[in-house]
Structure 1
Amino acid sequence: MNNSENESIFHHPFTFPESALKDLGERLRHTRWPDPETVGDWSQGVPLSRMQSLCDYWLNDYNWRRCEARLNGYAPSMTRIDGMNIHFLHLRSPEPDAVPLILTHGWPGSVIEFLKVAPMLADPRAHGGDPQDAFHVVIPTMPNFGLSDKLTTPDWSPERVANAWVELMRRLGYEGFFAQGGDWGYAITNVLGGIGRPAVRAVHFNMFPIFPYMEARNEQEQQALDRLKTFASNENGYMTEQIQSPQTLSYGLTDSPVGQAAWIYELVVKYTDGNAEELIGKDEILDNITLYWLTATAASSARIYWQSMLSFKEHEIQVPVGYSQFPKDIHQSSRRWVEERYPTLVHYNELQMGGHFAAWERPELFVKEVRDSFRHSRK
């Protein structure tokens, strides 16, 4: 960190101008729709009728101000770290023995993924839990996403972000904390685990990347490798495009709200275990999409793939590790694979339901996993 950097933390609410919402409505009204798909399923992408239904709701029934008010109830703040303005939400627990916890989102998610679980984690007493499981919850927005700075040079890395998170927690008065993440939040939390004590006391993941070269010793592991092969052959187009040409992709997504919505909506539906509009909620799916739209972060958020997808290296972790395997996630791991990579594993559980956006779609299960995992490390 630059020693001359101003360490102040200041309130920074979500306050998008009415003109931005009016522009969104006008663009939705004047959408130029494509021809319908020539199949009766999702094999060519989001069906036209589903996209038109979602956008009709977005235009005529959805209320962004409701989401804005909800976000502003989590003490939205900003501080400048390593030359970057970092925006974050902060929910302090009323419990005196609460432990600090930082939650890191991924793509195409945002801090909105954690709005359901944050109150349960911070105040278990009010949500039918044990107050001894309480956390002070910090939910930062990664650079290039949301209200955090968009980088103007190609120097994003999980290492840089993880070090910023350590500094953020220090400024908040949290010298030692727990960290949780999936998706790109996994990459950053992996680095945090490598940093370890005294800053990082333990980590929990709800994603564990597996690779084609890994050896399968049983049916479960072979099925996981087969699942990965299917993903690589038929489902990773979004990833390839964002690795290779995030700038080219972004012109359509930044100019068309329907384009931005379709790009995110397909993946949320595909990797939710069940009906995404029922489990997550149509409004919350649109909350996330609208945040990407209003912040014009289609290009900047996609560059995380261009910058780090092919270069990220796993870090050795010596602090306690917890892992929760949700069945609809892209990566399916066995306990053996996790233990081989993380010998300090203290919690492993294979759940019967849940997908890639675990905190968003199955908040109660996610909260239980986080509580169970970190209970090993509270003393």
Structure 2
Amino acid sequence: MNLRKFKIDIPHEDIEDLMRRLRATRLPAALDEQRWDDGASLAFMRRLHEHWSTRFDWRAQEARLNRLPQYLAGIGGVDIHFIHQPGRGPAPMPLVLTHGWPGSFIEMERIIPLLADPAAHGGDPADAFHVVVPSLPGFGFSAPPGGPGVGARHIAELWLGLMKGLGYERFGAQGGDIGASVSAWLACRFPAQIIGAHVNYIPGSYRPPLGPGSPPVTAQEQAYLDTAAAWAGAEGAYAAEQGTKPQTLAYAMTDSPIGLAAWIVEKFRAWSDCDGDVERVFPMDELLTDVSLYWFGRMLDASFRIYKENRLQPLVFEAGERVAPALGVAAFPRELPTPPRSWVERVFDVRRWTEMPRGGHFAAMEQPELLAQDIRAFFRPLRGRHA
């Protein structure tokens, strides 16, 4: 699979171009500079702009990220960037962790050592994993797809090729956001290879079979459907745009770093357990590192288009369909609308469902210790199956 070691090294001229564009920023007006009701707060974006243009040190972030063992591999005609951290324990289990949007592989930075070397962090070495963290196609340093059709369903096939290329014939899957969709598709499409799947988000496209032959929708399930519909109406404009006209959006975001930052940071604030103060959970440098990865990657059309691909290939099931590999769910309180367990159990074999005490959509960044504990606990009884 043409495996090569990889180090991040953004060209100096790209950094200079970013600084030039930041110096030329033209900010909009706002009815209220402090509030977030209409989108990203003007007062906050002024502070972000000032920090990005005068204090943020990309080279320092780059050096830190380069301490992670990174590689490129040609999988299915696409160069995939990934982290591969071998586990330390008597029998580490292979595990692929998949990020989402507007995150990146750096979502997993703090959880990787907790999973790969649990003994060094107060855990049991028997819970160790060989951790693989790929960047989705068109995200980070993975090449964009060469054509249409590359959504979560197809990415599951790419991840299978990657894991097999690394020598892992059977493995576990974990993810949130788009990563949850990829993990679910891995379990659906490749049950013989997937030991189990753990998610901290139930994909919005997931629909179990309903109607004749299926149990009627319960009051709790209907309440979830109503909540999800109301949320989509009030908060789902980003998904409608990315899922229908991603190319149009890409022109603006490819040309304006502050426009890109506003589009991304507003979601980090809205979807996290930050009580309205995004920097309480994500320091400014951490936010800007993620935004900078999108900026330097120059693949915004691809990172937006995955929403369209997933809309065209949703996670929909026919009557009688079941997914064999066990599923674990960590339900964080500030997550996007989450269905009740019964809705998921209509198709999946849910072995563990944990109502988490705190945290939101970016669980691996917000609460890495809590998420790692739940991942370890879910896979513990499944470990004999990867031998």
Q: Does 1:337 align with 2:339?
A: no
Deviation (angstroms), 1:99? 0.6
The aligned runs of 1:42-61 (5 Å cut-off) are 42-61=36-55
Matched ranges for 1:1-379 at <5 A: 7-38=1-32, 41-209=35-203, 217-218=218-219, 221=221, 223-274=223-274, 275-314=277-316, 316-342=322-348, 344-379=349-384
C-alpha change, 1:155 and 1:340, in structure 2 (3 Å) is closer
User: How far has the Cα of 1:183 moved from its partner?
Assistant: 1.0
3-state SS in 1 of match to 2:141: coil
Tell which deviates more after alignment, 303-312 or 37-46: 37-46
Q: Which amino acid aligns with 2:346?
A: E
Match in the other structure for 1:3: none
Shift of 1:157: 2.6
Q: Distance in 2 between matches of 1:148 and 1:221?
A: 38
Is 94-103 or 194-203 further displaced after alignment?
194-203
On the 8 A contact 1:191/1:314 being kept in 2, the answer is no
In the alignment, structure 1 segments of 5+ residues that lack a partner are 1-6
Alpha-carbon distance change, 212 to 39 in structure 1, aligned in 2, over 3 angstroms: farther
CA distance in 1, matches of 2:224, 2:314: 22
The code of the aligned residue for 1:368 comes to Q
**d(CA) in 2 for partners of 1:136, 1:288:** 24
Greater CA drift, 144-153 or 249-258: 144-153
Contact kept? 1:207, 1:331, Cα under 8 Å: no
Which whole-Å CA distance do the structure 1 matches of 2:189 and 2:60 have between them? Answer: 38
Point out 4+ residue stretches in structure 1 off by more than 4 angstroms: 210-216, 220-223
Q: Residues 120-161 of structure 1: CA distance to partner in whole angstroms, max 9, x if unpaired?
A: 111111111111111110000111111111123213132321
Opposite residue 225 of structure 2, the aligned amino acid is L
Q: Is the 8 A contact 1:271 1:330 kept in 2?
A: yes
**Residue 310 (structure 1) shift:** 3.8
Structure 1 window deviating more from structure 2 (150-159 vs 241-250): it is 150-159
Give, as a single letter, the amino acid of the residue that structure 1 aligns with 2:74: R
3-state SS in 2 of match to 1:323: strand
TM-score norm. by structure 1 comes to: 0.93
CA–CA separation in structure 2 for the residues paired with 1:162 and 1:136? 18
1:74 deviation in Å? Answer: 1.7
Query: Is the CA contact (8 Å cut-off) linking 1:253 and 1:259 kept in structure 2?
Result: yes
**Aligned counterparts of 1:35 and 1:109: Cα–Cα separation in 2:** 28
Whole-angstrom CA distance in 2 between matches of 1:298 and 1:271? 21
Paired with 1:78 and 1:39, the residues of 2 have a C-alpha distance of 43
Any idea what SS the aligned residue of 2:282 has? helix
Contact 1:209 1:331 in 2 (8 A): no
Q: Which AA in structure 2 matches 1:337?
A: W
Aligned equivalents of 1:104, 1:195: Cα separation in 2: 16
User: How far did 1:70 drift?
Assistant: 2.4
Q: Which amino acid aligns with 2:299?
A: T
Q: Which residue of 1 aligns with 2:213?
A: none
Q: Percent identity?
A: 39
**Worse-matched range after superposition: 153-162 or 93-102:** 153-162
Q: Secondary structure at the match of 2:307?
A: helix
Residue 314 of structure 1: how far off its partner (Å): 4.0
Q: For structure 1, which segment, 30-39 or 187-196, has the greater mean C-alpha deviation from structure 2 after superposition?
A: 30-39
Amino acid at match of 2:243: I
Q: Deviations over 1:198-218 (max 9, x none)?
A: 421111011114679987635
2:90–2:125 CA contact under 8 A, matched in 1:
no
**Partners of 2:256 and 2:330 in 1: CA distance:** 37
Letter paired with 2:254: T
Alpha-carbon shift at residue 350 of structure 1 (Å): 1.1
Equivalent position SS for 2:324: coil
Deviations 1:4-23 (A, max 9, x none): xxx22111211101111111
Write the distance in 2 (CA, Å) between the matches of 1:221 and 1:155: 31
Give the whole-Å Cα distance in 2 for the aligned partners of 1:348 and 1:225.
19
1:94 and 1:122 in contact (8 A); partners too = yes
Deviation at 1:223, TM superposition (A): 4.9
CA distance in 1, matches of 2:110, 2:23: 31
